Amino acid sequence: MKNILKGSGVLLVGIILYSLSSCYYDKRDLISPPSLSTTSCDTVNVTYTNQVKSVLSGACTGCHQGGGGSGGVVLDTYTGIQACGTARLLGSIKHQSPYSAMPQGGTKLPDCQIAVIEKWIQNGAPNN
């Protein structure tokens, strides 16, 4: 009889320890930071060829390419962007007055794409 009580006591302690330890791991999972790769926005090595061009061709050049781009704005070439002016380009994608908000009739570009273009302009908008 004594042995059975002792046995169940050990089992009880075991269960308590086990549940405490599983609690501990649950909390650890909650505090661990989310994976950086899914939340970061790389604006360190921004180039016209690798990032800016693909953002513009994805969202803008449907209306702004060739000789007769909408509003006289041509965004599928580097010279077209220079003719447009980078302040005007940035103002339009950041939806800042007095510029027309772009893309016209669509939703604002994702923050990361705006940050990439802004960084490129801050770097002097090089043809790189």
Which residues of this protein are in contact with ligand HEC, per CB under 6 A? Answer: 59-60, 62-64, 70-71, 73, 75, 84, 88-89, 92-93, 99-100, 102-106, 109
Q: How many residues does the chain have?
A: 128
- With respect to ligand HEC, which residue has the nearer C-beta, 85 or 126? 85
Task: State both tokens at 40.
Answer: 């970061």
Contact predicate 75/84, CB 8 Å: yes
The residue among 46, 51, 92 whose CA lies nearest residue 69 is 92
Minimal distance, residue 45 CB to ligand HEC, in Å: 22
Nearest CB to ligand HEC, comparing residues 88 and 128? 88
Q: Smallest gap, in angstroms, from Cβ of residue 18 to ligand HEC?
A: 56
Select from 37, 98, 103, 101 the least CA-distant residue to 64. Answer: 103
Residue 49 Cβ, how far from ligand HEC at the closest point, in Å?
A: 17
